[in-house]
Amino acid sequence: MSSVLRVEGLRTAIGDVEIVRGVGFAVAAGETLAVVGESGSGKSMTALSIAGLLPRGGRVVGGEVLLEGRDVLALPEARRRAVRGAEIGMIYQDPMTSLNPLTRVGAQVAEGLTAHGWTKVRARSRTLEVLAEVGLPSPAAIARLYPHQLSGGMRQRVLIAAAIAPRPKVLIADEPTTALDVTIQQQILDVVARLRDEYGLAVVWITHDLGVVARIADEVLVMYAGRAVERASVRPLFAAPAHPYTAGLLRSIPTPATVHRGALPQIGGIPAAPSGLPAGCPFAPRCPQRIGRCEHEEPPLTDRSPGHAACWVSPEHWAGEAR
């Protein structure tokens, strides 16, 4: 399997604090990697590091981001921006903050293209084409509207259109559906899945929602305190998690009776803060499986066939109803 996007040992700091502490994964064309984990685990910072869109004060301090084998971090700054802008599309949680309220949506999609060197004429026709591809009816009429004249779902479709318009190879979606109601959320997932298949996009989908993971992901990366604690294909991960944190997330999937969309899975204790990580495994204080070693030695991500997990205790030695 050749990967379109391969990330190795990615480390990102904001000021002196390491927020992303060695994350690695690979995504092939037409595949979806879901990134899950509680709030603050570093999902967005990982995405922004890859897309080169870190906030002020943030910088990548280690690792590689390989796009079809080329390390984009090693490219000169200007080239890096051009490559990433055209080859990595990104969509965010809140369509209102990513769209300019004063500009017609068609012009915004087209501007993204002209910024990447498209002529105005080509940008305009591509804009209408791509608005149709994301399932917006009468693209020419939609293109003339302002963001506030669209529903939340339509705005999200416009953002997807803008992201895929330059025909990127990678699409990173950072919780783009959490603000939408369930029906619209499903429609957006369907649109992205169709585009993934048609374009052969490598998709990275960040979410809190394990239901979404089950629907769209091929591979799953579970993050905790800036690291991947488990990485596996979706079926084995759901059937037999290899990290106690993943097991906790799965146990707390809402049932039809408790369904509360977008709710954070409840695991006892407080997530680790990046500025005050304990010496050992950051999950140890909350972990029902911890042993003495966990308190002073952080486990590396190791092979736990069929996936990988960062835990000193393998599932066959877990106590209680661990799974």
Ligand X SMILES: Nc1ncnc2c1ncn2[C@@H]1O[C@H](COP(=O)(O)OP(=O)(O)OP(=O)(O)O)[C@@H](O)[C@H]1O
Residues that bind ligand X (CB under 6 A): 14, 19, 37, 39-45, 55, 274
Q: Which is closer to ligand X, CB of 109 or CB of 212? A: 212
Say how many Å lie between the first and final Cα of the chain, rounded.
Answer: 31
Q: Which is closer to ligand X, CB of 19 or CB of 128? A: 19
Q: Which is closer to ligand X, CB of 40 or CB of 85? A: 40
Closest approach of ligand X to the CB of residue 102, in Å: 26
Q: Taking CB under 5 A as the rule, which mask of x and - marks residues 32-61 in contact with Mg ion? A: ------------x-----------------
Contact 71, 64 (CB under 8 A): yes
Binds 123, which of ligand X, Mg ion, none (CB < 5 to 8 A, cut-off by type)?
none
Residue 145 DSSP SS3: coil
Q: Which is closer to ligand X, CB of 92 or CB of 312? A: 92
Burial label for 36, CB within 10 Å (0-12, 13-18, 19+), is buried
Contacting residues for 90 by C-beta, under 8 A, at least 6 apart? 47, 51, 53, 163, 171, 172, 173, 174
* Count of beta carbons in the 10 Å neighbourhood of residue 302: 12
Closest approach of Mg ion to the CB of residue 54, in Å: 13
Binds 37, which of ligand X, Mg ion, none (CB < 5 to 8 A, cut-off by type)?
ligand X
Binds 177, which of ligand X, Mg ion, none (CB < 5 to 8 A, cut-off by type)?
none
Q: Which is closer to Mg ion, CB of 44 or CB of 108? A: 44
Closest approach of ligand X to the CB of residue 301, in Å: 18
Which parts of the chain fold into alpha helices (H)? 43-51, 77-87, 95-98, 105-114, 120-133, 139-143, 152-164, 182-199, 210-216, 234-239, 244-251
* Interacting residues with Mg ion (CB under 5 A): 44
